[in-house]
Copies of this chain bind each other. A is one copy, B any other.
C-alpha cells in the first residue's frame, strides 16, 4: 500500500528561503511528520524561486537570432532569448513550438522557461534550477538534519511527450535514491528472465505526485509514503538517454 498526500499552503517562496525547513514545518502544521523512507516530491517552480532563478524580461536584450525565432514562432523575443540561453541545442522548431535540449540534457518545450505562477506581474520568467540534483541534495540534507529521517527528494516539472497528448510530471532532480528500478536478472512468475528490465520509477513517482498537486492551488509538494525506493545516490543524468542511443532526435 502506497499513500500520497499533498503538502498544502506553503508560503509564497522567495529567494534564499530554506525549502527543506518550510516543508518540514508545513507537514507538522498538517499534524503529520516525516517517516523514514517517505519520498518528498517538489515542484521545480518553488525550487527555482528559492534559488532566485527568476529573470525579469526587461533585463533581457534579445539577440538577432532570438528575434528571428520569435518572428517564426510568434513568441516574445525576450522569452526566446531566455530559452536560447538555457539551451544547448534546438531539437524542433515548428508551428509555434520551440523544443530544445536544456543545458542539463532535458528535451522539452521552451527549455523549461515558464511564465505562469511567477508573481503578480507578467514580466518575469522562471528558469529551471542550475543543478536540480544539487537542489535535491540540499533539501534532503535539511530534512535529515531537522527530523533525523532519511527522505529521498525528487524535483519535478511537467513536460510534453512525443506521440502522446497532454503533459505529465517528470523527475528533473533526485537525491537519496536511484531513479531506475533495474529488474535485469530477475525472473518472471514462470521463472523466465524478464524482458522489461528497467523501470524509470523516479518519473513514475513524479507522475504519481502530480495527481495530488493541483496546479491552480498552492500545492507544490507531495509526500509519497510506503514506496521502497531503489537504494543508492542516483543522479538525474541516469534518466537522460545519451544522444547516440536515442532514435528520436
Which residues does A use to contact B, with CB under 8 Å? Answer: 1-6, 92, 94-95, 97, 99, 106-107, 114-120, 122, 158, 161-170, 179-180, 183, 186-190, 192, 194-196, 198-201, 203-205, 207-208, 210-212, 215-218, 227, 238-241, 245-249
- Can you report 7 A-B residue pairs in the complex whose CB atoms are below 8 A from each other? A118-B190, A122-B192, A161-B162, A166-B201, A169-B204, A188-B216, A204-B210
Question: Shortest distance in angstroms between A107's beta carbon and chain B's nearest beta carbon?
Answer: 4
Q: How far is the CA of A85 from the CA of B215 in the complex (A)?
A: 42
Question: Shortest distance in angstroms between A148's beta carbon and chain B's nearest beta carbon?
Answer: 24
Protomer copies: 2
Q: How far is the CA of A178 from the CA of B227 in the complex (A)?
A: 27
Question: Shortest distance in angstroms between A211's beta carbon and chain B's nearest beta carbon?
Answer: 6
Q: How far is the CA of A94 from the CA of B239 in the complex (A)?
A: 21
Q: Across the interface, do B248 and A164 meet the contact criterion of CB distance under 8 Å?
A: no
Q: How far is the CA of A10 from the CA of B158 in the complex (A)?
A: 35
Q: Across the interface, do B215 and A168 meet the contact criterion of CB distance under 8 Å?
A: no
Q: Across the interface, do A114 and B207 meet the contact criterion of CB distance under 8 Å?
A: no
Given contacts A165-B198, A207-B208, 13 further A-B contacts (CB under 8 A): A2-B4, A162-B162, A162-B241, A162-B246, A162-B248, A163-B246, A163-B248, A164-B203, A164-B240, A166-B199, A189-B216, A196-B215, A204-B211
